[in-house]
Structure 1
């Protein structure tokens, strides 16, 4: 395999309907106006609370958490350490949002306004209302003091600093009674919207509680060992020599005992490993790759599966994605690993980018509600709506039908989603097989994130099809 740069072809996507956008639960304006600079210490909990509240308010207005955090980082001018605290608090709040909002509802006569104020209170409550058995990350009265400091420092919340103090101190006094009361509400008990809870019950009557609980847990840091450059035993030894505990949980999957930054992962910059969920690592192995094949990776960003394909076999890969910015991530990953692919920025349901030559293998990781990866993206549950499942399943069906014509006879197409909803997974696969008279081969089907040691992976679905010769 040559070590050349990926071929990157960034062109305007065809004018086709985009994936449905998530709707806001309520309207929210930008919560930290341009030009506003908080008068808070750069390494203080107060600044971290301000940034986290900013991000949470944006999510409740319809923004995805990663983008909301970038905005918060920029406006607060946070140090790297404070950025880490902002992110930790925001993710913690997302995982406990149903419970925190329910508690807030018990202690206030109406929803606090502006939205930034409600978000600040939820962030503070999530820090002092630790899940049963978990240690609180900060002293309770420190959280109260710093939340009041945030309110006093912000022009839109200064009028409510007394209310912030009163609400949080009341919670500390009446915690047991308030928590007991809110836990009678399913949304507060499980920290998911009611429709999500109902859907999980209907789809998995015996496992729904374990699935919901797994989605609230901190995800592990799992690496994919690059077998082109090293072996799993050799890499485990490298980690051990660096004082990093790890366990092999798949053919190339290694789970670290404790999450660390990628800069501290031995050999990461040299391409010895990549961050990828253990369940997601199954995709490339299921494709049954052989040297010289033409392979299409549709909806490829951020490129984990693209890179894994190239690590396993010397094949000619074309990777497409509708978002040129996300394709840059694919390019960066390929360069770090010393791999090469042709990248094109187009919608997967179009043919304008296709040269007419059929592929031996197609990986179709299609758009979905992402309901299987909520432990990594806890904001998803609050952004999605019940109707999104049907809309995204309809879009995914169009993509699969379009890609099928690009597969040569006897070729294989792997259909993948990171969803746990049958409408997007098994029902989709069954309908596709009927529409195209496709032969369905062995594949794992639905992988459920149940939180056990043997199922320490995200929720993914795999269906493998072979195209019958004419």
Structure 2
């Protein structure tokens, strides 16, 4: 047994210490929550512990500038170097004090105990003193108004500037939706049951649910463990946001067609297309990373669906394409994810302004590379979970201008060549921010 393993066995497991490690991994090391959190959660078997760990970490990411500002006031000098994990611990502690129902004495006690797990027992007094001081001023901290706009809005300055420019009359609503807890949307599997049957089964199980949006969407006002829902493990229900569910409906796949889903992981849209049209000739799903394709296969297996999976670069299809063209293509392009910040609040702090131009360049390259794979008369649906025009309207306008055989297939009356596509903004009571543009290849 190596020394690291021995230390892990000797160090007690502490949920607040694990939260501190995840928080610092994100804000200092650039890891995403999708990378850091599951590793920490794997040490816990109780679903409540996993849920609390996720709530603390995601909550800190939503409230980060305000929490950070209020903690730094309490410190005579920054906690850097080996003490940096203690800063993450204090962020987790203050979030719990301000935004959860965890009793304050439990927050303080568990945070102090976490110092041992973080190998900093000598700093117990510091953690205890800071959190008790914050607890005493809690009412004032909860009502504090911040002068700096990025702190007040919980958004980085570069993103605020872009949102104000693109949506001068709506940016405050977008920011507000981004800061809200996301609703839980389910997708009903129409090949197994009607939405009415799904709602009846949920009602019989005592689960509050209602039909919303398109023909497959179900909203759960009160989040729950989805694996306990009737039919979930058999594929009758899946978790998918309302806005993302529009993909299969807009693509309109028909029997015996060959369909391609580009940048497919984790596979929700792939599965939805197959659920809506089980008589496809072939469903092909491509993603860059083999590990992400494992998630696609897991979703297919749970629902009982089949697809051909390829690991490959979407901008270089010659490495994986068999030469047979497709009737329909869904291109869910890599993007800034600025429409799903409420689900991925860490992205606000991981993304940089310079990333947008790079992403737009990549999207353009993928779109140009994938277009030749579409049959004449075929349909390509371009999608992003972004609200930024550079990745959406601007991208499609440029493509239509540069591609003579590409024609816009309007989604609604506002979808014109002058302003192509359908831009959905995040809504605290509805779907995420999403963009769709439907293109047809002229014969």
Matched-pair contact (CA < 8 Å) for 2:11–2:116:
no
1:37 is aligned to: 8
1:342 is aligned to: 308
1:261 is aligned to: 225
1:174 is aligned to: 137
Deviation digits for residues 213-239 of structure 1 (CA, Å, limit 9, x no counterpart): 211222122111111111011111111
1:447 is aligned to 2:424: yes
Matched-pair contact (CA < 8 Å) for 2:338–2:388:
yes
Q: What is the TM-score of this pair, normalised by structure 1?
A: 0.86
1:245 is aligned to 2:208: yes
Deviation digits for residues 19-63 of structure 1 (CA, Å, limit 9, x no counterpart): xxxxxxxxxxxxxx6544387876xxxx22111111111111101
**Residues 155-170 of structure 1 aligned to structure 2 (within 5 Å):** 155=119, 157-170=120-133
2:91 is aligned to: 122
Q: Aligned equivalents of 2:343 and 2:203: distance in 1?
A: 26
Gaps of 5+ in 1: 1-32, 131-135
Residue 79 of structure 1, CA deviation:
4.4
Residue 152 of structure 1, CA deviation:
4.1
Q: Which structure would you say has the larger RCO, counting Cα contacts within 8 Å and 6 or more residues apart?
A: 1
Matched-pair contact (CA < 8 Å) for 2:383–2:436:
yes
Equivalent pairs counted in the alignment come to 423
Q: 2:57 aligns with which of 82, 90, 102?
A: 90
Distance 1:420 1:35, change over 3 A: farther
SS of corresponding position for 1:270: coil
Q: 1:150 aligns with which of 100, 114, 117?
A: 114
**Residues 321-332 of structure 1 aligned to structure 2 (within 5 Å):** 321-332=287-298
Q: What is the TM-score of this pair, normalised by structure 2?
A: 0.91
SS of corresponding position for 1:279: helix
Q: Aligned equivalents of 2:269 and 2:117: distance in 1?
A: 46
Q: 2:40 aligns with which of 72, 83, 89?
A: 72
Matched-pair contact (CA < 8 Å) for 2:335–2:386:
yes
Q: Aligned equivalents of 2:6 and 2:357: distance in 1?
A: 42
Q: 1:462 aligns with which of 433, 436, 443?
A: 436
Q: Aligned equivalents of 2:142 and 2:361: distance in 1?
A: 41
Greater alpha carbon shift after TM alignment, 159-168 vs 114-123:
159-168
**Residues 405-424 of structure 1 aligned to structure 2 (within 5 Å):** 405-424=372-391
Instruction: Quote the RMSD (CA, aligned, Å).
Output: 1.9
Deviation digits for residues 322-380 of structure 1 (CA, Å, limit 9, x no counterpart): 11111111112112222111100001111211111211111000101111111111111
Structure with greater proportional helix content: 2
Matched-pair contact (CA < 8 Å) for 2:12–2:117:
no
Residue 200 of structure 1, CA deviation:
1.6
Gaps of 5+ in 2: 412-420
